[in-house]
């Protein structure tokens, strides 16, 4: 078991890192494309994941409760069907 992210010392997880782990869980809201596939994607836009999938990832221990809370906080109002979009962290457009 890896230690939980340290809120005080460690760098905060990026949304991208959380999405990368969340995609390893099956989405409880849509069939997605299977494990390791985003709920939605396009050729040019960011990949999206349902809130329900983040919840599933948290239950499986893939992401922490703090990670989930950060995602929800960023989303604002949401339902299980709300899509959270992965955001490229690099400078590529």
What does the binding site for Zn ion look like in residue numbers (CB under 5 A)?
27, 29-30, 32, 39, 50
* Residue whose CB is less far from Zn ion, 4 or 87: 87
Instruction: Mark out the alpha helices in the chain (DSSP H runs).
Output: 15-22, 51-59, 65-75
* Residue whose CB is less far from Zn ion, 5 or 46: 46
Nearest approach, Cβ of residue 30 and Zn ion (Å): 4
Q: How many angstroms separate the CA atoms of 19 and 63, rounded?
A: 9
Nearest approach, Cβ of residue 61 and Zn ion (Å): 19
* Residue whose CB is less far from Zn ion, 52 or 70: 52
User: How distant is the alpha carbon of residue 82 from its chain centre?
Assistant: 12
Nearest approach, Cβ of residue 62 and Zn ion (Å): 15
Q: Which two tokens stand for residue 86?
A: 């992965």
Q: How many angstroms separate the CA atoms of 58 and 61, rounded?
A: 5
């Amino acid at each position: 078991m890896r230690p939980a992210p340290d809120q005080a010392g460690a760098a905060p997880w990026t949304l991208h890192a959380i999405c990368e782990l969340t995609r390893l869980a099956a989405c409880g809201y849509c069939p997605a494309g299977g494990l390791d596939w985003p709920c939605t994607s396009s050729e040019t836009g960011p990949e999206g994941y349902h809130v329900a999938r983040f919840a599933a990832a948290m239950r499986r221990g893939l992401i922490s409760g703090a990670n989930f809370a950060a995602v929800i906080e960023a989303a604002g109002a949401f339902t299980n069907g709300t899509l959270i979009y992965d955001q490229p962290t690099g400078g590529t457009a």
